[in-house]
Structure 1
Amino acid sequence: MADVLKSLNLLETLKESMDNNKLSDVKDAVEDLLISRINIGVVGDRCLEKTTFINSLRGLGVDDVGAALYPSTVSTEEVIGYPDPKHTDFRLWDLPPVPTCTPFEPESYMGKYKFMRYNAVFMTFTDVPQINSVTIFLEARLLQNKTVYFVLLVSDKNKTQDDKRQVSLEVLTSQGVAVPKVYIVNPSCLEKIDFPVLLEDMGQDLPEIRAHALLLALPILTPALVTQKKEAFKALVWAAASLSGGMSTLPVPFVASMVDSSIGVRILSKTQISLGLDNHSVERLAKLRGLDPGRLKALRTCVLSAEVSKGEVKKRLAAAEKDLSTVSSRLVQMAMPRQARSASKSFAATLQALNTAIDEMAEDADKIVQVVLMEGQ
């Protein structure tokens, strides 16, 4: 993993690496962002709420191929792995519940199920967290693992959930958790209640490459998440454009569209999937929310939202190169890494073409999210 991604300010870190002539770091960062892996463990009883939660994190309904099943056909002592159908680098692991026996040795459970290999762990429950789960949490903290979260799964917002949260916080405090947090999550509608807050906290706790992997793999839930995805992809575009501009000291007119089309297709294909704009994702979302898929598909006005083709990407890159007069030279200079400014034509064309495409695709995703949220009220 590139050291460039250890900071929590991706674009500024990439710029600093480029200015310091660390091109290999930026190349690694581009690959890490395009192929980034994250493993999340979900601990708790194999109940309907937990099964629904696992499916929702992958944008799946119970009838979809690959969905987690309830009741489970797997032994409660076994770990079940669930790859994401669209993001092969995102995998959820259904871990058995923590034993309620006393005395309890947390090292036994953590060793048996390789607890520390997961980038983050959700300790799920539907009433109050049991004492041994809190012991696991405290042990993880001793081992410098800050990405373990207590998640109270509820079907809908009501008064009892606030009572359950309060009781749960009291349990955590009584067991020695200094700053207890309990996130209330509706497993079938993740955009509701505390899940957006949980995502925000995870973004601060996880190493940046893992935070981006999680962000890009999750189904679109809110306009804010669409914006976050868009900004992440724009940072990726900046890195790719910088490499294009920085690799050649004698840029040749109209060459960038040929050189950069492959990376452009990779970035925009991942953008399309991450924003849930491909036909399969739109149809699946419509089915989950009881909407007409044709209605949602009609909201896609950018051709790349429906299909990312190399021909369309080449056309956009070539058009941007021919029309660089619309880009303020001062703005280009401000955006570019210092040593790449002699190659401003290639940099600006790539930046303009791909960023414009991402803006258009994000606008389509935002329209879809707005309709889904409006219908869900």
Structure 2
Amino acid sequence: MADVFRSLNLLETLKESIESNKLSDVRDAVEDLLISRINLAVVGDRGNEKASFMNSLRGLGPDDEGAAPCPSPAAAEEVAGYPNPKYPDFRLWDLPPVPTTSSFEPEEYMNKFKFLRYNAVFMTFTQTLQPNSVQVYLEALSLQRQTVYFLLLASVKDTDKTLEERKKASLEELKSQGVKQPKVYLIRPSTLEKLDFPGLLEDMGRDLPEIRAHALFLALPTITSALVTQKKDSFKAIIWAAASLSGGVSAIPVPLVASMVDSSVAVRILLKAQLSLCLDDESIERLARQRSMEPAKLKELRTCVLSVEVTKGEVKKRLAIAEKDLATVSSKLLQMAMPRHARSAGRSFTAMLQALNSAIDEMAADAENIVAAALGEGK
């Protein structure tokens, strides 16, 4: 149970809100994370690489239902939206490429396509970084928008050498236009775990508002073991907040959790975890298709019953066991974990915290084994 308190900023923010009795802020944060509300824009030519990138961000292959098609059916000046099949509030927006005309005005492009409404923008290209795209980036920086990223998308024919040459040329273009610390991320759209995508996620985790960054991590497919760990930490922060709102922590009525006996929120959190960690049958079957593996080989790696199916009966059973085991929990740990004014209501808090943290640990271990098997097969 102690590893939930490893200097996770989101958790500290939630604890401060509880201490200040700002329970509505905590409830809203939990709700936002469970919904995974985020909007990402992808700018660039509408070719195979861009479509593959948008599909991979949603865990889809080109033939899956809801996949972004190529060629795109959208008109040249039209924005196309692609929701995540698991999380309708996580949306990718396909924006047209930045015009290459010499009379280009970045403000006009940004206003036309509502550039600033997106949580992050990916400026994609496959060959040469266009100067006008850099102008859009600089204009975004002047408006205090830091979450704009240049992505060099690789085709299946590109070699590491040609990609490095293009990346170097792109960095020089950025420097020539006054970008002080230029960054270009090399991305293989169909295998995001390779090249620079993990580094891009690290940078986005620092650049995005914290709640939004966690929402992004929860909605992405589990492509690396590091992302599984990030998801696990996010869920443990959610669990802490939900446990704090349960069982009479405050005299203020909170509709999120009526009591520990009502396990509906616990079920909801674990259902979200099953989907986020890609442990459900549909996600595993998609992954198996993409890696040319037998689905049964990956499914048999699920050793936790909650990885296979989240039921209210199983959740209630775990909560009941946790209540019986409360006597073994260190009182010092309990004092450290709980909001100061809530320690008299420790039984409900600790039971939910212990039961759900244990469940998340088991489910994350299954996810890590599935990711390792899939990546190993891919090699």
Q: With the length of structure 1 as denominator, give the TM-score of the two structures.
A: 0.94
Q: Deviations over 1:295-330 (max 9, x none)?
A: 100000111111111111111111111221221121
Structure 2 partner of 1:195: 197
8 Å Cα contact 2:10/2:211 also seen in 1: no
8 Å Cα contact 1:8/1:208 also seen in 2: no
TM superposition shift of 1:75: 1.6
Q: Deviations over 1:132-172 (max 9, x none)?
A: 10110011111111000000011365111111111000001
Counterpart mapping for 1:152-231 below 5 A: 152-155=152-155, 158-231=160-233
Q: Matched residue of 1:354: which SS?
A: helix
Q: Matched residue of 2:212: which SS?
A: helix
Counterpart mapping for 1:240-279 below 5 A: 240-247=242-249, 257-259=260-262, 261-279=263-281
> Equivalents in 2 of 1:178, 1:226: separation in Å?
33
2:346 is aligned with 1:344: yes
Q: Matched residue of 1:319: which SS?
A: helix
8 Å Cα contact 2:39/2:93 also seen in 1: yes
Alignment: residue pair count = 365
Structure 2 partner of 1:124: 124
Identity %: 68
Structure 1 partner of 2:312: 310
Q: Tell me, which stretches of 5 or more residues in structure 1 are unaligned?
A: 1-6, 250-254
TM superposition shift of 1:12: 1.0
> Equivalents in 2 of 1:174, 1:55: separation in Å?
33
Q: Tell me, which stretches of 5 or more residues in structure 2 are unaligned?
A: 1-6, 252-257
Change (3 A) 1:359 1:157: farther
TM superposition shift of 1:8: 8.1
- The code of the aligned residue for 1:329 comes to S
Q: Matched residue of 1:258: which SS?
A: coil
Q: Compare 210-219 and 318-327 and name the one that shifted more.
A: 318-327
Q: Deviations over 1:238-275 (max 9, x none)?
A: 011111145368xxxxx95423x111011101101000
8 Å Cα contact 2:36/2:219 also seen in 1: no
Select the residue among 329, 353, 372 that pairs with 2:331.
Answer: 329
Q: Deviations over 1:270-290 (max 9, x none)?
A: 101000001111111111111
Q: Matched residue of 1:122: which SS?
A: strand
Counterpart mapping for 1:43-122 below 5 A: 43-122=43-122
Q: With the length of structure 2 as denominator, give the TM-score of the two structures.
A: 0.93
Q: Deviations over 1:330-366 (max 9, x none)?
A: 1111111111110111111000000000000000000
- The code of the aligned residue for 2:202 comes to E
> Equivalents in 2 of 1:344, 1:365: separation in Å?
31
> Equivalents in 2 of 1:112, 1:23: separation in Å?
39
